């Protein structure tokens, strides 16, 4: 995983490049010249094309660029680089095949590629925004719109690009009166080649990951990655050494760390076709006091004396290196918080403390009744008396009033190590490349337009449906037990099978044979004579 490859400067000779800087005026000038030149030549299609490109460039430089620029410069993301490589290499493959076999003009291919790429990216982003709307929505309308168009850190769904690109290409081909099914056949292998290359960008971005993997090829993503974040939220790995308990879990029946980390794997092995459900999310739990289910062995939390079954009563920030024994005399320096639920503990560690180099974490914990001896870095107080508010909570939940002692501990948390997961990005990349080769083979033997495209609509959905079984980044869609991608896969599979049956019932046709006639030697000679006479 490497989200950022390198940085570009945001200034040249003290002049800004982004916002209303040099790039903004350069793109605006080049766009205006290109549009005017096309209009003078009475080529309205080219004028519209250049105007669209210029508008897109101005928007990126003026709006998106300043937002994603960082202190080190303008980041070049691995995801974006592989996305561009996917478009470029797929385009070259299509141009080579089209020119070699049917004399398909390269400029027509480039026009189709532009429409497919632009509308495909829009469709992929729209699919992602709809699916993950709570993550995209911001406090203000302006911030939400910026989040919608910001694709630099990923946030594209392959199925959205396929649906958006195909729909736009079909409309474009109908407008240009080009053979639709034959051209879709031409682009089908390149589409899968693009998916194969683009999935490597997903690996670099850390998205689209799989579930726990015990095989030697399992991938361990770094701390803070989407996979690590999800594992912390589900309790598969700890939050800086601490695994929090579910709200219905009492201190006497707190699940051990090993059980918490293996339960999902055991459940998955029971089902031949595991259905998706809602993720168990400790980071959003707001209905219970905070109890510790497990503590990582040899972690800073264990060395500080925090034990399974303990309740977290307070959290705070203290100057780096301060011992718990000295915390009483320096209470004024402690920024104290009283977390009432798991969500607030997650927020404290991930947003308030967030690995600050200047502060350690101070906590007041209440031991379970049978807690072991405390560590040296802990200060014990008297047994807690149950407060009226706590009594009401205990009455509602039916829990026994805690009787353990309160202790103050100070520790320097270290991020937990993520568990190995299936590299589904590489699985998808490999299978898409193999399917690309299959479609190229089919294209060499079939004598009927549309069969290559129908094969794409049949083979890729089957592949994607199977890959979704081991991916864990999506939940059940509308209670179906299937992810939204699996539901779309079934829909595309039905379309592909219907198209295949319909094509087999129609007479064979090869619309591209002879559609673009080869230039004759006489026409070449005439063109040369005309050029010599006119001097053009």
HEC profile of 14-70: CEECCCCCHHHHHHHHHHHHHHHHHHHCCCHHHHHHHHHHHHHHHHHHHHHHHHHCE
Confidence of residue 117 (pLDDT cuts 50, 70, 90): confident
Lowest mean pLDDT among 62-71, 247-256, 318-327, 404-413: 247-256
Q: Quick check: helix, strand or coil at residue 115? A: helix
Q: CB–CB of 291/366 below 8 Å? A: no
Looking at the structure, tell me whether residues 91 and 173 fall in a common domain.
Answer: yes
Looking at the structure, tell me whether residues 400 and 450 fall in a common domain.
Answer: no
Q: Name which of 475, 440, 452 is nearest 97 in CA terms.
A: 440
Looking at the structure, tell me whether residues 306 and 355 fall in a common domain.
Answer: yes
Looking at the structure, tell me whether residues 385 and 335 fall in a common domain.
Answer: yes
Please state the rounded mean pLDDT for residues 312-339: 78
For residues 219 and 277, what is the distance between their CA atoms, to the nearest angstrom?
24
For residues 368 and 32, what is the distance between their CA atoms, to the nearest angstrom?
73
Residue 478: inside a domain:
yes
pLDDT digits (tens, 9 = 90+) for 62-85: 877 777 778 788 888 888 899 899
**From the CB of residue 233, how many other CB atoms can be counted at a distance below 10 Å?**
20
Confidence of residue 147 (pLDDT cuts 50, 70, 90): confident
Residue 416: inside a domain:
no
pLDDT digits (tens, 9 = 90+) for 217-234: 999 999 888 899 888 888
Looking at the structure, tell me whether residues 329 and 458 fall in a common domain.
Answer: no
Identify the domain boundary among 378, 411, 444.
411
Looking at the structure, tell me whether residues 256 and 387 fall in a common domain.
Answer: yes
Give Cβ neighbours of residue 261 (< 8 Å, ≥ 6 apart). 235, 236, 237, 419
Residue 46: inside a domain:
no
pLDDT digits (tens, 9 = 90+) for 350-407: 888 888 888 889 888 888 876 555 554 555 554 443 343 443 444 344 444 445 788 8
Give Cβ neighbours of residue 162 (< 8 Å, ≥ 6 apart). 120, 123, 191, 492
The string of DSSP letters for 76-108 reads EEHHHHHHHHHHHHHHHHHHHHHHHHH---HHH
Looking at the structure, tell me whether residues 9 and 136 fall in a common domain.
Answer: yes
Residue 59: inside a domain:
no
Looking at the structure, tell me whether residues 340 and 398 fall in a common domain.
Answer: yes
Confidence at residue 460, expressed as pLDDT on a 0 to 100 scale? 95
Lowest mean pLDDT among 87-91, 306-310, 371-375, 490-494: 371-375
Residue 281: inside a domain:
yes
Burial of 94 (0-12, 13-18, 19+ CB in 10 A): buried
For residues 528 and 536, what is the distance between their CA atoms, to the nearest angstrom?
10
For residues 451 and 182, what is the distance between their CA atoms, to the nearest angstrom?
9
Please state the rounded mean pLDDT for residues 37-54: 84
Looking at the structure, tell me whether residues 326 and 437 fall in a common domain.
Answer: no
Looking at the structure, tell me whether residues 310 and 427 fall in a common domain.
Answer: no
Looking at the structure, tell me whether residues 277 and 393 fall in a common domain.
Answer: yes
Q: Quick check: helix, strand or coil at residue 7? A: strand
Of 328-337, 476-485, 512-521, which has the strongest mean pLDDT?
Answer: 476-485
Looking at the structure, tell me whether residues 303 and 192 fall in a common domain.
Answer: no
Residue 329: inside a domain:
yes
Identify the domain boundary among 411, 441, 458.
411
Q: Whole domain around residue 374: which residue ranges? A: 247-411
pLDDT digits (tens, 9 = 90+) for 437-489: 999 999 999 888 999 999 999 999 999 999 999 988 777 777 778 888 899 89
Residue 528: inside a domain:
no
How many domains does the chain divide into?
Answer: 2
Residue 240: inside a domain:
no
pLDDT digits (tens, 9 = 90+) for 168-189: 999 999 988 889 999 999 999 9
Please state the rounded mean pLDDT for residues 516-533: 56
Confidence at residue 63, expressed as pLDDT on a 0 to 100 scale? 76
């Amino acid at each position: 995983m490497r989200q950022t490859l390198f940085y570009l400067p945001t200034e040249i000779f003290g002049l800004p490049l982004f916002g209303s800087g040099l790039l903004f005026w350069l793109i605006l000038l080049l766009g205006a010249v290109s549009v005017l030149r096309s209009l003078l030549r009475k080529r309205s299609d080219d004028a519209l094309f250049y105007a669209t490109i210029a508008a897109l460039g101005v928007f990126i430089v003026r709006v998106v660029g300043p937002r994603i620029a960082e202190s080190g410069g303008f980041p070049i993301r691995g995801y974006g680089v592989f996305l561009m490589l996917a478009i470029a290499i797929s385009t070259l493959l299509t141009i080579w095949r089209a020119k070699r076999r049917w004399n398909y003009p390269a400029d027509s291919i480039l026009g189709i590629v532009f429409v497919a790429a632009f509308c495909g990216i829009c469709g992929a982003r729209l699919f992602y925004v709809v699916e993950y709307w709570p993550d995209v929505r911001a406090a203000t309308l302006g911030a939400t719109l910026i989040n919608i168009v910001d694709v630099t850190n990923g946030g594209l769904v392959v199925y959205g690009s396929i649906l958006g690109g195909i729909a736009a290409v079909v409309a474009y081909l109908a407008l240009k009166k080009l053979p639709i099914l034959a051209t879709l056949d031409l682009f089908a292998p390149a589409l899968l080649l693009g998916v194969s290359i683009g999935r490597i960008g997903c690996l670099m971005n850390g998205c689209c990951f799989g579930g726990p993997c015990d095989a030697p090829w399992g991938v361990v993503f770094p701390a803070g990655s989407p996979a690590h974040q999800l594992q912390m939220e589900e309790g598969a790995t700890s939050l800086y050494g601490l695994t929090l308990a579910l709200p219905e879990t009492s201190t006497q029946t707190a699940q051990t760390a090993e059980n918490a980390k293996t339960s999902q794997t055991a459940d998955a092995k029971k089902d031949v076709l595991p259905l998706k459900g809602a993720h168990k999310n400790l980071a959003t739990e707001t209905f219970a006091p905070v109890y510790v289910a497990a503590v990582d062995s040899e972690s800073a939390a264990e060395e500080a004396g925090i034990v399974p079954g303990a309740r977290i009563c307070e959290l705070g920030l203290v100057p780096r290196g301060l011992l718990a024994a000295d915390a009483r005399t320096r209470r004024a320096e402690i920024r104290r918080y009283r977390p009432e639920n798991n969500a607030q503990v997650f927020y404290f560690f991930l947003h308030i403390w967030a690995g600050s180099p200047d502060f350690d974490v101070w906590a007041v914990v209440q031991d379970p009744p049978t807690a072991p001896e405390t560590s040296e870095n802990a200060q014990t107080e008297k047994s807690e008396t149950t407060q009226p508010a706590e009594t009401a909570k205990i009455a509602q939940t039916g829990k026994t009033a805690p009787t353990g002692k309160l202790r103050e501990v100070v520790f320097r948390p270290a991020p937990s190590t993520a568990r190995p997961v299936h590299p589904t990005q590489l699985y998808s990349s490999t299978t898409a490349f193999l399917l690309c080769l299959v479609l190229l083979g089919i294209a060499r033997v079939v004598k009927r337009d549309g069969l290559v495209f129908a094969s794409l609509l049949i083979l890729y959905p089957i592949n994607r449906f199977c890959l979704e079984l081991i991916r864990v980044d999506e939940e059940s869609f509308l209670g179906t037990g299937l992810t939204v991608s699996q539901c779309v896969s079934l829909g595309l599979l039905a379309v592909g099978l219907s198209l295949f049956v319909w094509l087999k019932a129609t007479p064979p046709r090869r619309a591209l044979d002879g559609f673009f006639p080869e230039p004759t030697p006489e026409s070449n000679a005439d063109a040369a004579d005309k050029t010599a006479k006119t001097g053009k």
